[in-house]
Amino acid sequence: MSGGPVGVGVVGTGVISAQYLRNLTAFPDVRVVGVADLDPERAAAVAAEHGVPAAPDVASLLATPEVEIVLNLTIPAAHAAVATAALQAGKHVYGEKPLALDPAEGEKVLAEAASRGLRVGNAPDTFLGAGLQSAGRALQQGVIGTPVAVSAITQGPGPEGWHPSPEFLYQRGGGPLFDLGPYYLTAITALLGPVSRVAATARRARDRRVIGSGPKAGTSFEVEVPTHVTALLDLASGAGVAATFSFDSALPRHAIEIIGTEGVLALPDPNTFTGPLRVRHPGDTEWHPSRSQAPPPAAAWASWTWPATSALAPPTGPPAPWPSTS
């Protein structure tokens, strides 16, 4: 890497690029050298909106010496090809999920990087954030005792109601398992360790969907992948996981709860894992509003939110003692 700001080249200027570019342009140690897309006009418009240069095409961006890392925001079907091209151009790669459409393709990408001494990173990186780091610290300190079970659920009616071009989310490499599942599975394995066994079912409720917004509103498209996945996972640590990933539900819900022998830990905003954690112990009738406020009375069961303000700052003190139930 260079001694100054790290040069980043962005490939793909779809909906998710706006969030990445807002963040990338906010940090002084990162410099967006250029953005590129199969649609040069869209790339130019996105570049202008965020005040960064636009490259005429992907090849030109990859040939730019100042680009040290390529941010791969293409559709899943193009992830491996774009990553490989970037590595062959001598660039490190960070990509959106999934790394590739199947394990064999992903292994080829990693082998290419290893042969060139380059690095590959991939979303989601939320386990590095304050929310999951604080959750890990809370579990290590025994706030809920020994974790024995996890409930993970992300469900809703699907992204076609708001996304202007949702077709790729229903093609190979998409669907709720690959689009939203990585946030939940990454959180679970980062906090509790690897999976040892899986049993799952996958179904598709409808063979066609209709785009609900944007210039293509009213257009129907084919669904290629399962849109409702349920799974039971055994973790090597001994905990069990019940997980649901669905684009077919009329009742949106997004949650992870880790159930322990002495309480329950609820993770905040499971797609981003920002905000305070919530803890409830046996006998509590509600989540305590904030650990930063006055502690509960000594006679009450301890229950609080765990501040997630920094991945490095330790918690502000040990949990309040639990009363005896004898």
pLDDT digits (tens, 9 = 90+) for 209-234: 999 999 999 999 999 999 999 999 99
* Cα separation values, 52 from 11, 48, 120, 293, Å: 13, 6, 24, 44
pLDDT at 127: 87
Beta-carbon contacts of residue 261 (< 8 Å; ≥ 6 apart)? 144, 145, 146, 148
Question: How many Cβ atoms sit within 10 Å of the Cβ of residue 170?
Answer: 25
pLDDT at 280 over 60: yes
**Higher-confidence residue: 313 or 174?**
174
pLDDT digits (tens, 9 = 90+) for 32-90: 999 999 999 999 999 999 999 999 999 999 999 999 999 999 999 999 999 999 999 99
228-235 and 195-203 beta bridge pairing: antiparallel
Average pLDDT value for residue range 87-97: 97
DSSP per residue, 45-105:
HHHHHHT--B-SSHHHHHT-TT--EEEE-S-GGGHHHHHHHHHHTT-EEEEPSPSSSSHHH
Closest CA to 273 of 154, 152, 127, 149: 127
pLDDT digits (tens, 9 = 90+) for 136-191: 988 998 989 999 999 999 999 999 999 999 999 999 999 999 999 999 999 999 99
* Cα separation values, 35 from 5, 8, 9, 32, 127, Å: 17, 9, 6, 8, 27
Spell out the alpha helix ranges (H) of the chain.
Answer: 17-24, 40-50, 58-62, 79-88, 103-116, 130-140, 175-179, 181-192
pLDDT at 215: 94
Closest CA to 36 of 78, 83, 71: 71
Average pLDDT value for residue range 299-307: 38
Tokens 């393709």: give the residue.
105
What sign has the CA pseudo-torsion 16, 18, 20, 23? negative
**Higher-confidence residue: 308 or 8?**
8
| Residues constituting the chain | 326
Give percent of the chain with pLDDT exceeding 70.
87
The pTM of the full predicted model, rounded to 2 decimals, is 0.82
Helix, strand or coil, per DSSP, at residue 126 = helix
Alpha-carbon distance of 78 to 95, in angstroms, equals 11
